[in-house]
Amino acid sequence: MKIIEEKNCIILQDVDHFSPEHTFLCGQCFRWDEEIDGSFTGVAFSKVVNISLKDNAVVIKNITLDEFKSQWKYYLDLDTDYGHIKYGFKDDQNVKKAMEFGWGIRILNQEIFECLISFIISTQNAIPRIKKIVSKLSEMYGTKLEYSGREYYAFPNIEQLRGITKESLSELKAGYRADYIVDAVEKITSGEVRINDILSLSYEDAKKELMKIKGVGPKVADCVLLFSANKKEAFPIDVWVKRTMQTLYLSETSSVKEIEEFASSHFGQYAGVAQQYLFYYSRENKLGK
């Protein structure tokens, strides 16, 4: 990968296995929107950034070389060799097919707090509505940003949400999830849940730590670990993945526990990567519906 710095813009040449479209639309994040020209604009690290693919080069607008090296390179998971991961799944025809369909999905390393709150909101909810609620929460409590003549809002940090109540969140119309958001903020500010330790804890311990929060069950915890804590062995099982695994690998009556055990032994350390490709493939093709 060759990095070229231009005015307030970075160009990456020879990047393999990266599709902004598939990466931002595969359901792992809720803060990226497609523009008319096919590029994607999103907010992270209190910055608005625009990413596009042009003639096999990745163009990232509104960042400096330092910001790319210190934050965005990791965020986009560009240090991980997806060719190697793909090779490891060469004997699995289902994953192979899903990886061809959704080529270039990279598992993002999002900010943990934002990812946690976003997936608490995702519970029993549809993606467009999740995006709406996350966006509204940012507008209410986050820092205002500007890019290309438009207003954006950074996702609020823990300090900005300190002291919120169920009532103050009523405008969000998040339903019963408002209680969960309040509980997460309280437990993190009090130190009961040490969110900054998630990165250094083992997968199992990190999952236990997250599940101390009300509204965080195994699925939400796995999403947070996979999409923001670089734990690629995490294998979130939702309705789509459950149906897909039952159809392609196991049987209709297989339980979540059985699927979990199978995924761990069959997919191994990159189970989460396989999960995301299978999830995207089954959703886009409405598998089992």
Partner DNA sequence: TTGCAGGGGTCAA
Partner DNA sequence: TTGACCCCTGCA
Nearer to DNA by Cβ, of 5 and 34: the residue is: 34
Please, what is the minimum distance in Å from the beta carbon of residue 122 to DNA? 5
Burial class (CB in 10 A: 0-12, 13-18, 19+), 70: exposed
Please, what is the minimum distance in Å from the beta carbon of residue 189 to DNA? 18
Nearer to DNA by Cβ, of 3 and 172: the residue is: 172
Please, what is the minimum distance in Å from the beta carbon of residue 18 to DNA? 17
What letter represents residue 89's amino acid?
Answer: F
Give the residue among 38, 58, 62, 68 at the shortest CA–CA distance from 50.
62
Question: Helices 218-228 and 203-210, interaxial angle, to 10°?
Answer: 120
All residues at 6 or more sequence positions from 155 whose CB lies less than 8 Å from its CB, including other chains: 31, 43, 44, 111, 113, 114, 117, 134, 137, 138, 142
Nearer to DNA by Cβ, of 124 and 265: the residue is: 124
Structure tokens at 101: 């369909």
Please, what is the minimum distance in Å from the beta carbon of residue 185 to DNA? 15
Nearer to DNA by Cβ, of 10 and 216: the residue is: 216
Binding footprint of DNA on the chain (CB under 7 A): 26-28, 122-129, 132, 170, 173-177, 211, 213-221, 223, 236, 238-241, 255, 275-276, 279
Nearer to DNA by Cβ, of 77 and 238: the residue is: 238
Please, what is the minimum distance in Å from the beta carbon of residue 281 to DNA? 12
Task: Determine the 3-state secondary structure of 8 from DSSP.
Answer: coil
Task: Determine the 3-state secondary structure of 283 from DSSP.
Answer: helix
